[in-house]
Amino acid sequence: MKAMARRERRWTRREYDRLIELGVLHEDEPIERLAGQLVVAEPQNTPQARAIELATDALRVVFGAGPRVRVQLPLALGDDSEPEPDVAVGPGTPRAPEDHHPPQPVLVVGRGR
């Protein structure tokens, strides 16, 4: 039997959001869009959770009330990537009337997937 060639499909942010709207994916599923591919995020272990907390505490001390310190929240990095790093620091405020995730972090902390 002949082996089938592997095909990949890249998803845009609009298509990914539509999958959620249609109920194909749920907002809380551990899936990230990286370079247009849907990637399952692995569950955290205790040392990683502790490291995220320590990094978040340290970054809030270092950056103070200036930039936002976001924990495991999406970033809009172009049309084909929307990662959810462990911690990201960027401009803005949680009360900003944005209709999308912040696009320009100044620092991203996370383990490679």
- SS3 helix, strand, coil % of the chain, rounded to 5? 25, 20, 60
Between vectors from CA 80 to CA 75 and to CA 84, what angle results, nearest 5°?
A: 30
What pLDDT, on a 0 to 100 scale, did the predictor assign at position 22? 94
Cα–Cα separations (whole angstroms), residue 37 to 3, 54, 56, 94:
23, 30, 28, 28
What pLDDT, on a 0 to 100 scale, did the predictor assign at position 56? 93
The tokens describing 99, both together, are 């209709």
User: Which residues are paired to 34 by β-bridges?
Assistant: 37
- Distance between CA 37 and CA 90 in Å, rounded? 24
- Distance between CA 101 and CA 98 in Å, rounded? 7
What pLDDT, on a 0 to 100 scale, did the predictor assign at position 12? 87
What pLDDT, on a 0 to 100 scale, did the predictor assign at position 1? 61
Select the more confidently predicted residue: 113 or 45: 45
Task: Identify residue 53 by its one-letter amino acid code.
Answer: E
**Threshold 0.95, pTM exceeds:** no
Per-residue pLDDT tens over the stretch 28-82? 888 888 888 888 887 888 988 999 999 999 999 998 877 889 898 888 887 788 8
Q: Domains (ranges, CATH) in the chain?
A: 13-109 (3.90.1570.10)
23 by Cβ neighbours in 10 Å (0-12 / 13-18 / 19+) ranks as exposed
The answer, yes or no, to whether residue 16 has pLDDT greater than 70, is yes
Per-residue confidence band for 17, with pLDDT thresholds at 50, 70 and 90: confident
